[in-house]
């Protein structure tokens, strides 16, 4: 009974949030910028066509760097806006749990990002037309990118719950995401090699969004990588819940 109620509540909040994305110009601006940025990186900087390879590496490698600025922008309004409007008082006095509210909001934003990601499909068709790419790898990479987006989003929703200011939320989550990406970047790891114990190097690299993302985009859909992203999301959403429970007053 409780679970059915929860699902119904999550569904109601999900619908409202998703509707509110598309009811405002923000969504369309976001989609356009997302596609333009990805296109710019992939074709102008990544030399997608010049590489003469019918694969998607030059495309997906840019995703983390586009996400790092755009996803905090999507997430920053999730709770901050409710606080500003005072609707948080409504939401938290409805007969729903904090988890219902967080999941509804999170899933709506994630779904929105999924839609944005799907709008990049023309690129897949172009490559299919030009060459003979490995579609299995492309599929894996899309799954990986979607999971990565969810992980970024969970960080963003957490910072959004922690502050009333959307600007602070944005900056905090960019910095946090940057840290989570960079911890797997070769220069960072190189600086650890030599002096740090192997387990620490390993741990830091394991923590990184990037390490797991790269292995997925190579076409290896490992259960451990999926588990990693799932646990990142669960962790940050849980922290969000704790923050909201404790910050109800202001």
Residues binding ligand ATP (CB under 6 A): 249-250
Closest distance to another protein from the beta carbon of 206 (Å): 38
The answer to whether residue 90 forms part of the interface with another protein (CB under 8 A) is yes
The answer to whether residue 191 forms part of the interface with another protein (CB under 8 A) is no
Tell which one of 39, 97, 117, 182 touches another protein (CB under 8 A). 97
User: How many residues would you count in the chain?
Assistant: 250
Region 20-59 residues binding another protein, contact defined as CB under 8 A: 20, 23-24
Closest distance to ligand ATP from the beta carbon of 167 (Å): 21
Report the partner that residue 222 touches, choosing among another protein, ligand ATP, none (CB closer than 5 to 8 A by kind).
none
Closest distance to ligand ATP from the beta carbon of 244 (Å): 15
Question: How many residues belong to the site for another protein (CB under 8 A)?
Answer: 26
Is 89 or 222 the residue whose CB approaches ligand ATP more closely? 89
- For the record, the structure tokens of 214 come out as 């790269």
Closest distance to another protein from the beta carbon of 41 (Å): 32
Is 132 or 249 the residue whose CB approaches ligand ATP more closely? 249
The answer to whether residue 95 forms part of the interface with another protein (CB under 8 A) is yes
Task: Give the C-alpha separation, 156 to 77, whole Å.
Answer: 9
Closest distance to ligand ATP from the beta carbon of 87 (Å): 17
Q: What residue ranges bind another protein (CB under 8 A)?
A: 5, 8-9, 11-13, 15-16, 19-20, 23-24, 85-90, 92-97, 248-249
């Amino acid at each position: 009974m409780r679970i059915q109620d929860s699902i119904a509540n999550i569904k109601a909040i999900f619908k409202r949030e998703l509707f509110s994305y598309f009811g405002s110009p923000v969504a369309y601006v976001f989609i356009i910028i997302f596609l333009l940025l990805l296109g710019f990186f992939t074709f102008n900087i990544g030399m997608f066509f010049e590489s003469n390879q019918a694969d998607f590496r030059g495309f997906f490698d840019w995703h983390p760097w586009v996400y790092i600025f755009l996803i905090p922008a999507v997430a920053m309004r999730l709770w901050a806006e409710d606080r500003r409007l005072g609707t948080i008082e409504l939401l938290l006095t409805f007969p729903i749990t904090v988890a219902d509210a967080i999941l509804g909001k999170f899933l709506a934003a994630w779904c929105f990002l999924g839609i944005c990601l799907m709008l990049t499909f023309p690129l897949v068709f172009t490559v299919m037309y030009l060459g003979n790419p490995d579609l299995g790898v492309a599929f894996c990479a899309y799954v990986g990118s979607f999971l990565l987006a969810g992980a970024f989003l969970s960080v963003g929703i957490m910072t959004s719950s922690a502050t009333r200011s959307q600007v602070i939320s944005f900056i905090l989550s960019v910095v946090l995401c940057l840290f989570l990406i960079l911890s797997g970047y070769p220069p960072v790891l190189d600086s650890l090699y030599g002096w740090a114990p192997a387990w620490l190097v390993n741990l830091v690299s394991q923590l990184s969004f990037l390490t797991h993302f790269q292995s997925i985009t190579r076409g290896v859909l490992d259960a451990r990588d999926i588990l990693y992203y799932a646990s990142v999301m669960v962790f940050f959403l849980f922290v969000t819940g704790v923050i909201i429970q404790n910050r109800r007053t202001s």
